[in-house]
Structure 1
């Protein structure tokens, strides 16, 4: 089993679509046997679900996440635990103990801009209208 966590400086990064790194935990017999920090190479939003799927991720722990990414993860068969904050390693330990506090109805509120802005249309260097986790 493999768990991925949106990752920045030891903490759970709070915006799935803008995460630059995942910390990946390999598990055997419900114990962590290996971890690695993986760079997303600037991929965002929809591409990240494919990135996780190709890395054989079973579970994603993250902060905020939009509906499109949630649907892509569901289609890839990746279980989502969103709305989580704090230390990445502690969150994985809590998950393994069955004590992870998460929000099953998590979503990114910034996807509701009046100007028709869609966070799914970002390109490198584009102004992200404050989407970088400042919700």
Structure 2
């Protein structure tokens, strides 16, 4: 099973055309998608996938001290990861075969995810 982790910067308010083309290809190939629950790219991707009717999506969230809950999931299945956002992202990167990062060039979390995933496509966005 091929699993793609999609991550990106919270500052991004719209998906660039190149990102949409990549997501459409992922849908065409019926890959599983794992994603976080943050505002910005995570929320935009979830909304786009829901609009497309794509259901091979799981949303991961940080549980912190067991009290965390998903900030947004668009009714996709969710998985809580013990720890903080870094712990969540690290876990996602170990699960994924491939990654797609939509990055503003500043987000440290997205930068770290780019370094963690062996095979990743990075789409740079000027914000």
Verify same fold: TM over 0.5: no
The normalised TM-score by structure 2 is 0.36
The higher relative CO (CA closer than 8 Å, separation ≥ 6) is in 2
Structure with bigger helix share is: 2
